[in-house]
């Protein structure tokens, strides 16, 4: 290749660079979201309307999005990462792709236990994972704690989904944090012995199985029951009406909760807008939307839960610092492997 | 038959070097393409060299044996299932005369339009314990849980049935082609010698179709091993679910990639074993000399044949399509809007781009393999086609890592040299998404083109070469026109596969770029089967069209692919 040719090539590359560079620098917020499109897009659109800042979205599994941010490095277009559990935010923080932010709005809105102590991430909604039971076959007096579900009295009576699921991994991680390894393993083994069927399906499937009589109790996230009760499908409503919620561990640590949360990435090109978006997501209107549409608990204590949720009563939530769930996630999976929880 | 053909045309040393020179350009292109396509696969394989982590030891001592066993049982079960469905129906449609034969010969391809995960969602919705079928049974007989036995759909058995139902058309298509290409005189000679229909089938027809059966099964096994949607939904722990769990649950991407590379090595082993087992045997059919007469069937047998052909069509297409349509009718008014049209546009755009690239690359590679004299080229080409057995998500990682590295390196260089930043040119663009798909589906393209090239006798190449035609001339004027239908088949199969692909798209897509498969998955994995029905149904509808065209072109062209893959 002669020199002139080389120069031309360099010029071409430089032109490409300018083009792509200018595309990236426009004032817009790029969101990588583990929340499915249907549950985040409407809020993003409202943000666009209010602020005039365009928002671009990719959804996917949290770990693949995280991998993408890591690989993209300094040039990652991501400004905001949204996940559906605290563990993944912790993982992102560990991978050094988040930046701490200072925002009075966020700090004042989000209670301490639902945000990172150093401001790396903030909870946006709270999701509880209580016990659900069949209205006719189970007396709520017989239920007490998660631990008790490992007792042989519940043999062949429990439905819960696979250990691949992050909600179960977080639940076991919280047990690990409270009870330690030995007791958690013993509990997990007991629980597996009590399974009414091999783990399968999602949380709604567990609720349906309780309603259909395949098992007496299930462990599932509460908003699934809310969605079923509000469903247009009469079969779902009918099933959900046979099932009630029991808040376990109210005498001690409280029911296991997790958050969906957000963070600003380390190499965000639009930090100000990114923070504005997170602030918008904890605004009263957005919090209300979460509560009404997805039946999650608002992260802001002042916002009332939806009507259906209020009928389930108030509960004491586990105040465990949520970053521990991320820290213990791998250990939790190993315990589930040892307990042969499929 | 052209026995001894090898000895006649194997070039001598002098001829080889002369031949090599004339092919140099082509070989260079082949080598470059192979290298490019192998990058993701090599990235995955490279992980084997990395040190084993604590997670790896944990896997080995707890769940790895289960993963291996389940993957093996699944692959073996699906092979059995697809053979049973595919070969029986292929034989009936290509040799017997019974009512509806012509209709069946194309309708049997329809299940190919269903991605395995969608048929799994659909059947689960129907047959689950809490689903309408079992609920009706319980209500009718007044039974409760435990009072009766019902096959558990969400089990490894269920997964085998689901995957077999949608993958058998691969076997059917290739084997039917092979059967109808077989010379009638062989069969008639067999009958003249007093051998019955069944014995002829097992001793002559079936063994002669072995390359086609194996080619079909290879695709089936690779697709089965790479399947994630179905096994995940059914909670069957296999290699693929293990890969996800290791990465997402245990947070160890490297151990996950190591698992994937073991899976890859298994596939290599299968491919090599297959290659070795038929190394000594050459399959060439004598030219058709007479028109084949279909076996006439008695009324009972004809009814039976019709029934047998109906089973896979009903189970693999009509029933799930009917169920999806019912769901879709309930939700269509909500789900179909402008953004739905954008989904269709994106899906088709991606499929067209991938299809064109695969076809061009596959033709280049297949021909490069043919004209190459260096022993390494065929291996290299085959390596670049192993992506089909790798779960899409691992391919995605194999693309993401090197591309991002390239982008960042280029950027650093530009910064140092000119003080400007190029940002990310490849990562997060349609280009990397297309590339990942090309790597993933190269095998389909290559198999089809390769098979149709293999049917062109080498003596034709030699003759053209002796007449002074250069490599490219030979290709353009002789081979290309002859393998047109093979290329066409490749294009259609790849198109259908891309429409159905999910995991790689999820990871690599650009901002706000959704496809029908992504939408279906998001809704279905949220247990909103009815809402997912519209997009699922559309995937099926878009896939049907190429399948029908494919069948038509095969029926008309007579030049068929697959019998020598």
Please indicate, yes or no, whether residues A164 and A249 belong to a single structural domain of this protein. yes
pLDDT at B284: 57
Burial of B118 (0-12, 13-18, 19+ CB in 10 A): buried
How high is the pLDDT of residue B563?
A: 36
Q: What is the pLDDT of residue A16?
A: 45
In degrees, rounded to 5, the angle at the alpha carbon of residue B530 between the alpha carbons of residues A258 and A209 is 60
**pLDDT (mean) for B65-88:** 94
User: pLDDT at position A26, please?
Assistant: 58
In a domain, A84, yes or no: yes
Q: Are both A227 and A84 inside the same structural domain? A: no
The nearest CA of chain B is from the CA of A340 a distance in Å of: 8
Nearest CB partner across the interface for A67, out of B237, B245, B400: B400
CA distances from B100 to B91, B314, B478, B548 (A): 14, 14, 38, 17
Among chain A residues, CA nearest to B250: A330
Q: Do A89 and A45 have their domain in common?
A: yes
* A87 and A173 in a common domain: no
Q: How confident is the model at residue A25 (pLDDT cuts 50, 70, 90)?
A: very low
Choose the CATH number for B29-557 among 3.40.50.300, 1.10.3720.10, 3.40.50.2020, 3.60.130.10.
Answer: 1.10.3720.10
Question: In which band, very low, low, confident or very high, does the pLDDT at B287 lie, cut at 50, 70 and 90?
Answer: low
pLDDT-derived band at A67, boundaries 50, 70, 90: confident
Mean pLDDT of B244-258: 84
Residue A111 counted as domain residue: yes
Angle at B61 between CA B56 and CA B62, to 5 degrees: 100
Split at pLDDT 50, 70, 90, the class of B174 is confident
Beta carbons of A276 and A53 less than 8 angstroms apart: yes
B421 touches chain A (CB under 8 A): yes
CB contact under 8 A, A14 and B427: no
B135 pLDDT more than 80: yes
Is the pLDDT at A247 greater than 50, yes or no?
Answer: yes
pLDDT digits (tens, 9 = 90+) for B142-156: 887 778 888 888 889
- Global pTM value: 0.82
pLDDT digits (tens, 9 = 90+) for B308-353: 999 999 999 999 999 999 988 888 887 777 778 888 999 999 999 9
How far apart are the CA of B236 and the nearest CA of chain A, in angstroms? 8
Domain that holds residue A175: 128-256+317-338
Provide the percentage of residues in chain A whose pLDDT is more than 70.
92
B396: contact with A, CB 8 A cutoff: yes
Residue B310, pLDDT score: 92
What is the reported pLDDT for B111?
93
Q: Residue range B22-49: average pLDDT?
A: 84
Does residue A311 form part of some domain?
A: no
Q: Which residues of B touch A67 (CB under 8 A)?
A: 253, 397, 400, 507
Higher confidence at residue B461 or residue A154?
Answer: A154
Q: What is the CATH number of the domain that holds A287?
A: 3.40.190.10
Q: Is B100 left (phi over 0), alpha (psi -120 to 50) or beta?
A: left
Question: Residue range A50-70: average pLDDT?
Answer: 88
Q: Using one digit for the tens of pLDDT, what is the confidence trace for A198-239?
A: 888 889 989 999 998 889 999 999 999 999 998 888 888 999
- Per mean pLDDT, which range of A330-334, B463-467, B509-513 is the poorest? B509-513
Q: Which residues of A touch B55 (CB under 8 A)?
A: 330
The answer on A132 and A121 residing in a single domain is: no
> Does the CB of B250 have a partner CB in chain A at under 8 Å?
yes
Is the domain of A221 the same as that of A139?
yes
Same domain, yes or no, for A282 and A332?
Answer: no
Instruction: Put residue A249 in one of left, alpha, beta given phi > 0 → left and psi -120 to 50 → alpha.
Output: left
Q: Give the confidence band of B272 by pLDDT, cuts at 50, 70, 90.
A: confident
The alpha carbon of residue B477 is apart from the nearest alpha carbon of chain A, in Å, by 33
Mean pLDDT of B123-146: 85
Q: Is A40 contained in some domain?
A: yes
Q: Are residues A209 and A282 in the same domain?
A: no
- pLDDT, residue B4, reads 37
Closest CB to A198: pick one of B129, B235, B518: B235
Interface of B with A in 454-493 (CB under 8 A): none
A321 and A178 share one domain: yes
Averaged pLDDT for residues A279-288: 93
pLDDT at A284 over 60: yes
Asked if residue A136 and residue A95 are part of one domain, the reply reads no
| A222-249 core/surface letters (b: 16 or more CB in 10 A; e: else) | bbbbbbbbbbeeeebeebbebbbbbbbb
Residues of chain A contacting residue B396, judged by C-beta atoms under 8 Å apart: 64
Contacts of B511 in chain A (CB under 8 A): 30, 56-58, 77
Q: What is the number of structural domains in chain A? A: 2
pLDDT of residue B291: 60
pLDDT at position A151 is 92
Confidence of residue B361 (pLDDT cuts 50, 70, 90): very high
Q: Say yes or no for a CB contact (<8 Å) between A164 and B249.
A: yes
Q: Which is more confidently placed, A72 or A119?
A: A119
Beta-bridged to residue A123, according to DSSP, are A261
Measure the CA dihedral B47/B52/B57/B63, to 10°.
0
Q: Tell me: pLDDT of A139 over 60.
A: yes
- Whether A20 is covered by a domain: the verdict is no
Residue A10 lies in a domain: no
| Predicted pLDDT of residue A216 | 94
Query: Which residue is closest to A18 within chain B, CA to CA?
Result: B422
Binary contact (A202, B527; C-beta < 8 A): yes
- Whether residues A217 and A264 share a domain: the answer is no
Q: Is residue A270 part of a domain?
A: yes
A14–chain B nearest CA distance, Å = 7
Asked, for residue A18, whether it belongs to a domain, the answer is no
The reply to whether A328 and A187 lie within a common domain is: yes
């Amino acid at each position: 290749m002669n020199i002139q040719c080389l120069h031309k090539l360099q010029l071409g590359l430089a032109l490409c660079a300018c083009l792509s560079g200018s595309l990236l620098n426009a004032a817009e917020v790029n969101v990588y979201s583990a929340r499915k499109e249907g549950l985040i897009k409407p809020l993003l659109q409202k943000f666009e309307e209010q602020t005039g800042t365009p928002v671009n979205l990719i959804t996917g599994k949290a770990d693949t999005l995280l991998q993408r941010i890591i690989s993209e490095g300094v040039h990652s277009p991501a400004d905001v990462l949204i996940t559906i559990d605290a563990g993944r935010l912790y993982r992102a923080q560990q991978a050094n792709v988040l930046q701490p932010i200072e925002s009075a709005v966020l700090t004042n809105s989000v209670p301490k236990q639902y945000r990172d102590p150093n401001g790396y991430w903030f909870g946006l909604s709270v999701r509880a994972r209580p016990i659900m039971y069949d209205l006719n076959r189970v007396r709520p007096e017989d239920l007490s704690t998660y631990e008790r579900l490992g007792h042989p009295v519940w043999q062949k009576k429990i439905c819960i989904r696979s250990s691949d699921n992050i909600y179960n991994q977080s639940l076991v991680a919280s047990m690990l944090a409270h009870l330690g390894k030995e007791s958690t393993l013993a509990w997990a083994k007991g629980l597996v012995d009590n399974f009414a069927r091999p783990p399968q399906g999602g949380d709604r499937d567990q609720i349906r199985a309780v309603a259909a009589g395949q098992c007496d109790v299930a462990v599932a996230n509460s908003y699934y029951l809310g969605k079923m009760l509000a469903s247009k499908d009469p079969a779902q409503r009918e099933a959900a009406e046979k099932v009630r919620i029991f808040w376990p561990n109210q005498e001690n640590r409280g029911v296991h909760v997790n958050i969906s949360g957000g963070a600003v990435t380390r190499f965000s090109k639009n930090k100000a807008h990114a923070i504005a978006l997170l602030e918008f997501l904890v605004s009263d209107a957005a919090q209300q939307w979460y509560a009404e549409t997805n039946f999650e608990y608002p992260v802001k204590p002042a916002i009332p839960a939806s009507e259906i949720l209020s009928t389930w009563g108030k509960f004491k939530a586990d105040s465990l610092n949520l970053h521990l769930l991320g820290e213990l996630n791998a250990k939790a999976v190993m315990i589930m492997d040892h307990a042969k929880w499929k | 038959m052209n026995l001894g053909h090898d000895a006649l045309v194997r070039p001598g040393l002098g001829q080889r070097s002369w031949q090599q020179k004339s092919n140099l350009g082509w070989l260079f292109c082949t080598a470059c393409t192979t290298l490019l396509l192998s990058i993701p696969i090599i990235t995955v394989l490279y992980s084997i060299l990395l040190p084993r982590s604590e997670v790896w030891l944990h896997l080995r001592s707890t769940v790895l044996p289960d993963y291996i066993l389940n993957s093996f049982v699944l692959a073996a079960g699906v092979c059995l299932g697809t053979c049973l469905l595919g070969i029986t129906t292929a034989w009936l449609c290509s040799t017997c005369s019974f009512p509806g034969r012509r209709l069946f010969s194309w309708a049997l391809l329809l299940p190919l339009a269903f991605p395995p995960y969608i048929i799994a969602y659909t059947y689960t919705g129907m047959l689950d314990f809490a689903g309408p079928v079992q609920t009706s049974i319980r209500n009718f007989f007044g039974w409760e849980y435990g009072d009766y036995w019902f096959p558990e759909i969400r089990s490894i058995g269920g997964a085998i049935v689901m995957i077999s139902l949608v993958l058998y058309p691969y076997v059917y298509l290739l084997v039917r082609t092979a059967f109808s290409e077989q010379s009638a005189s062989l069969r008639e000679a067999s009958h003249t010698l007093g051998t019955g229909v069944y014995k002829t089938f097992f001793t002559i027809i079936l063994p002669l179709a072995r390359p086609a059966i194996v080619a079909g099964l290879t695709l089936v096994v690779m697709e089965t091993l790479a399947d994630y949607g179905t096994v995940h939904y059914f909670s069957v722990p296999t290699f693929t679910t293990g890969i996800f769990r290791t990465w997402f649950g245990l947070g160890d991407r490297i151990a996950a990639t190591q698992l994937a590379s073991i899976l890859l090595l298994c596939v290599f082993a299968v491919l090599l074993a297959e290659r070795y087992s038929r190394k000594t045997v050459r399959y060439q059919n004598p030219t058709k000399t007479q028109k084949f007469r279909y076996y006439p069937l008695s009324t009972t047998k004809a009814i039976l044949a019709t029934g047998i052909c109906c089973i896979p069509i009903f189970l693999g297409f009509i029933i799930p399509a009917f169920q999806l349509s019912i769901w879709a009718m309930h939700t269509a008014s909500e789900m179909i809007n402008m953004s739905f049209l954008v989904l269709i546009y994106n899906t088709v755009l991606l499929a067209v781009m991938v299809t064109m690239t695969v076809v061009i690359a596959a033709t280049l590679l297949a021909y490069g393999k043919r004209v190459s004299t260096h022993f390494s080229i065929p291996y290299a080409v085959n390596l670049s086609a192993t992506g089909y057995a790798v779960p899409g998500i691992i391919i995605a990682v194999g693309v993401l890592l090197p591309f991002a590295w390239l982008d960042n390196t280029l950027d650093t260089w530009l910064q140092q040299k000119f003080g400007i930043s190029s940002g990310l040119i490849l990562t997060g663009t349609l280009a990397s998404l297309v590339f990942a798909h090309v790597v993933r589906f190269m095998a389909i393209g290559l198999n089809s083109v390769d098979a149709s090239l293999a049917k062109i006798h080498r003596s034709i190449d030699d003759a053209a070469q002796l007449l002074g035609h250069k490599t490219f001339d030979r290709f353009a004027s002789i081979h290309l026109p002859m393998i047109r239908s093979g290329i066409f088949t490749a294009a259609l199969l790849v198109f259908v596969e891309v429409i159905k692909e999910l995991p790689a798209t999820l990871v690599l897509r650009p901002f706000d770029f959704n496809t029908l498969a992504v939408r279906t998955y998001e809704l279905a994995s949220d247990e909103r089967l009815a809402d997912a029905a519209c997009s699922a149904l559309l995937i099926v509808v878009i896939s049907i069209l190429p399948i029908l065209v494919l069948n038509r072109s095969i029926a008309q062209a007579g030049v068929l692919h697959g019998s020598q893959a």
